[in-house]
Amino acid sequence: QVQLVQSGAEVKKPGASVKVSCKASGYTFTNYGITWVRQAPGQGLEWMGWISGYDGNTNYAQKLQGRVTMTTDTSTSTAYMELSSLRSDDTAVYYCARGGSQLLYWADYWGQGTLVTVSS
């Protein structure tokens, strides 16, 4: 069965970076992409970006350009999302989800979420 297992909760200080991992199993990693979505406390869903599991091609939300980096390690079927220059409004639950091999595709399986808290 398809599973996405994310790394554990993080607490970071403003200005620091965080790297969240998402380990996939139950499917051929390189046939799909990974989408990253976050949700601030009490708020809606915010799309952060997408990375191809095949060739590492990325597409980031304009708002996060320059601060977000998405990568994959196909040898371990793991995707990573790194967010730098953290601010208090980056406090959120971060989700990875299986997307398509191309950008225009839906997200059908989701990770359990990783809480990132930014606080001095």
Tell me the residue length of the chain.
120
Between 16 and 40, whose beta carbon lies closer to other proteins?
40
Q: How many whole angstroms separate alpha carbon 24 and alpha carbon 109?
A: 10
Residues 101-120 within binding reach of other proteins (CB under 8 A): 103-108, 110-113
Restricted to residues 62-101, the positions that interact with other proteins (CB under 8 A) are 62, 95, 97, 99-100
Distance (Å) of CA 25 to CA 51, 59, 91:
17, 23, 28
Report which secondary-structure segment, H or E, holds 50. Answer: strand 46-52
Of 11-19, 58-66, 68-76, 81-89, which segment contacts other proteins by CB under 8 A?
A: 58-66
Query: How many residues belong to the site for other proteins (CB under 8 A)?
Result: 24
Give CA–CA dist 51/21, Å, rounded. 13
The answer to whether the beta carbons of residues 100 and 33 sit under 8 Å apart is yes
Site for other proteins in 16-55 (CB under 8 A): 35, 37, 44-47, 50
Q: What is the contact surface with other proteins in residues (CB under 8 A)?
A: 35, 37, 44-47, 50, 59, 61-62, 95, 97, 99-100, 103-108, 110-113
